[in-house]
Amino acid sequence: MTSNATSTSSKSAASAAHPDVLTRTVTFENAGSRLSGTLYLPEAHGDDPLPVVVVTGAWTAVEEQMPANYARALVEHGFAAFTFDFRGWGKSGDLPNGVRFVESPSAKTADIREAFECVAKLPEVDASRIYGLGICASAGYMVDAVAGNPLVRRIGLVAPWLQNKAIVEAVYGSAEGVAALIDVSRAAEASGGEIITAAGPEGAEGVLMPIGGYYYEADRGAIPEYDDKWNNAGWEGWLTYYPADDPQRLDKPLAVVHSEAAAIPEGTHRFLEGLGGRASAEWLEDVSQFDFYDVPENITRATKTITAHFAGTADADV
């Protein structure tokens, strides 16, 4: 892994809603591929280095979606924030052999680790105050990237999708349904990949998420930057990834914001129980998974909790 970071500066594209946020494009490398990221800063940040949060989003997401929303909110609390596109997604380079749109837990975890290495070298950043924030599917990747990582002090998770074998089988149609998807994955990988549309209207056929909502709505997640692609070769890696297991691997203070009305809260409960009280959790009422991504009220509440945790002012009890 290498971290040859390069950068350019600009005013945030969302300056109307966040007029005091500056952005700077930062690129870095991992496994021979160049990744594109964005550093978010308060406009009047001065010369003192800032604490920084690396923010990652849901599966298939690009950095301009929910990661950018949380990055801007973090800046309002006095933090710098860093978002980026994973290898094979958005503006970043490919996975090995030119592969794109594969939801690879191992590759994404490695990219997050390299992002921490990158931000630690940025002049605007206080390298002694680096934090990680994982949203939805990337919550597991963030846990894995933070565990045992001396660069990172604390971790936050918002609406975490933390699955185990039982949850995978419940979500994807029993052990037989999972086995069938793994067969699809292996066939796609053998053929060099099979790319389908990621999001479609409710009831659509041949797409990953035929559910409507965030990813399919132009005023929400269906932004021009969104790839809206899924590679069926990624199913096996995703379906055999169990981040809810072995919570003891996490050796950093944790804060979680979730809702019983969001996706698979049982995985988060299992993870927190395994930590034996070494975490804090706030459960919001009646907030759906997608509504954690872009509803301002929910982002504000979650960010307030997470930044208090990063600042060391939150309690450490589940």
DSSP codes of every residue in 227-296: --EEEGGGHHHHHT--TTS-GGG--S-EEEEEETTSS-HHHHHHHHHHHTT-EEEEEETT--TTHHHH-H
Query: Is the residue at 231 inside a domain?
Result: no
CATH of the domain at 26: 3.40.50.1820
E strand intervals along 185-239:
195-199, 207-209, 229-231
Q: For the chain, how many structural domains are there in total?
A: 1
User: Could you tell me which residues are beta bridge partners of residue 124?
Assistant: none
Residue 248 located in a structural domain: yes
Predicted pLDDT of residue 3: 45
Specify if 317 maps to a domain: no
- Residues in a beta bridge with 2: 29
| pLDDT for position 44 | 85
Give every residue of the chain whose pLDDT is below 70, as ranges: 1-19, 313-318
Evaluate whether residue 267 is within a structural domain.
yes
Cβ(239)–Cβ(172) below 8 Å: yes
pTM of the model: 0.93
Q: How far apart are CA 62 and CA 56, in angstroms?
A: 9
Instruction: Write out the residue range of the structural domain in which residue 19 sits.
Output: 2-164+243-310
Q: Is residue 228 part of a domain?
A: no
Provide the 8-state DSSP code for 58.
Answer: S
| pLDDT confidence of residue 313 | 65
pLDDT of residue 159: 98
List phi, psi (to 5°) of 33: -115, 145
Contact assessment for residue 186 and residue 180, using Cβ atoms and an 8 Å cutoff: no
Residue 174 falls inside a structural domain? no
Within a domain: 114? yes
Please report whether residue 289 resides in a domain.
yes
